Amino acid sequence: MSPMLRQTVKKKNISFLRILAMIVITVIIINVAIDFFTRYGASYGSIAALISLIFCTTVCGYILYRNLAYYNYKIIEDELMVERVIGRSNHIFFHIKPKDVIKIKPYNQIDQDNKDIKEYKFTINGNKNSWYAIEFLKENKEHRLILEPNEAFLNALKRNFDKTQNDRVISS
């Protein structure tokens, strides 16, 4: 069996009633908008109903997405995998091999002004002091992955990165 390390980053559990209240409030606001536009004519009410259906679906999806999604970080053998999980579905976003990693730094020590680097955030907590940035090459372009690893996961990341760096120095 291959060595594996896994970390799950979740928000605090949000109650069903709170999610339901957010959705109900959104629907009530949309209904008020429909009533308002119906006063000016049936066609305005119909257009407002279609727009509000699209808006309500978008807002409710966003609420559920932001409050129910969590992230799994995995190191399987030497490869880092990041996946977003919503309910029973999970979507793997990255497979990063240690040879592609350029550097691993705390988030507050990276160059924020470099707009050429595409940045991907897989964090839940707003505390940027616990975030780490992994800069890596993908298709010959630099990318930055923002994670919030715990100590064990961070040590495993650094250990894999250091081992790859030593292999590069020895082979050059």
Contact, 82 vs 145, CB < 8 A?
A: yes
The pLDDT value recorded for residue 170 is 41
Q: Is 93 helix (H, G, I), strand (E, B) or coil?
A: strand
Encode pLDDT of 119-151 as tens digits.
Answer: 888 888 777 888 888 888 888 888 888 888 888
Annotated domain spans of the chain: 16-68, 94-171
In whole numbers, what is the pLDDT of the chain averaged over residues? 79
Integer Cα distance of 75 and 162 in angstroms: 15
The pLDDT value recorded for residue 169 is 42
At 2, the pLDDT band (50, 70, 90 cuts) reads very low
Integer Cα distance of 15 and 24 in angstroms: 14
DSSP state of 42: H
| Main-chain dihedrals φ then ψ at residue 44, nearest 5 degrees | -65, -40
> pTM to 2 decimals?
0.67
From the list 24, 4, 119, 130, the residue with the least C-alpha distance to 73 is: 4
Integer Cα distance of 155 and 149 in angstroms: 9
Encode pLDDT of 52-103 as tens digits.
Answer: 888 878 887 887 777 778 888 888 877 888 888 887 777 888 788 878 888 8
